[in-house]
Every structure is written in structure tokens, then in C-alpha cells.
Amino acid sequence: MIVIVGLVILVAAVVAGVAGVLSNSGQAHAAGHFSMFGYHVTGSTGTLFLDGIIVGAVALLGLSLLLAGARRTSRRGHAARQGLRQSRRETAAVSQHRDELIEQRNSARSDAAASAGGDGPADNPPADIPVSASAPAE
């Protein structure tokens, strides 16, 4: 929002400055008589200079708002990218830990099956099928 306001102010100041220069060219327009958008200003060269300073200050305000908004957007984007990197690191660490636990479980199962002297996995039920207490014993 700040960027849009700054851009509008900057464009308005540039349009006012360009219109003032283009509408007052040639010998017929001395510094004492100045017109812009149909509005005639009479005054000294100092008054014209002051008007130019005001237009420049408005342009500077618009530019500073534009840059402040862009800087704010940049910081928010940087923070979001940093959070994404942190999240990916945490996800990788948790995935690695999960893989290690699965490997330990599989190793423990194969060791238990080998020490039981059975034929292998047929003696042990799969992990995702619960063994009920009411099942007949062999």
C-alpha cells in the first residue's frame, strides 16, 4: 500500500514538473508569468523557484515512500525465505531420525526372528496388524 501511495505522489510531482516546463517555453513566457493546467501564476523568479522546490520536495516524499515500501516488502520476503529454510532443515532432521528408527526396528525384528529359531517373518505378525489377547496360542 505504501508503495502505491509513494508511486502516485512521485508520478503526480513528475507530471506537474513536466507540464510546467512544456507549457511555458519560448520568449512569450517570462519568469514573471507562469501557467500550468490553465492556472496562471504571476510573481517573481524567486516565487517560481520556491514552487519548484515544493514540487521537488513532494517528489522526494513520494520516492521515499516508494523505497520504504519496497524495503519493507523485501524484509518480509527475506524472513519468509529464512523460515522456509529453517522448516526444511527441521523436516530433513526429523525424516532422518524416522529412517534411523525404522532401521533399528527392522534390525531388532530380524534379530528376534533369528534368535527364536523360526523360519523368519512368518512366525511374527506384521507390525500394523495388532495381536489380540483372545487369539488361540499355538
Tens of pLDDT along 37-50? 677 766 666 667 67
Residue 14 is assigned to a structural domain of this protein: yes
- CA-based nearest residue to 20, from 51, 45, 65: 51
The alpha helices in 1-138, defined as continuous H runs, are 2-22, 45-116
Distance CA 92, CA 82 (A): 15
Q: Which domain holds residue 50?
A: 2-23+34-96
Residue 103 is assigned to a structural domain of this protein: no
pLDDT of residue 90: 95
The answer on pLDDT for 30 being more than 70 is no
Residue 19 is assigned to a structural domain of this protein: yes
Residue 17 is assigned to a structural domain of this protein: yes
Average pLDDT for 4-23: 77
Backbone angles phi, psi at 39, to 5 degrees: -100, 120
For residue 7, count CB atoms less than 10 angstroms from its CB and return exposed for 0-12, middle for 13-18, buried for 19 or more.
middle
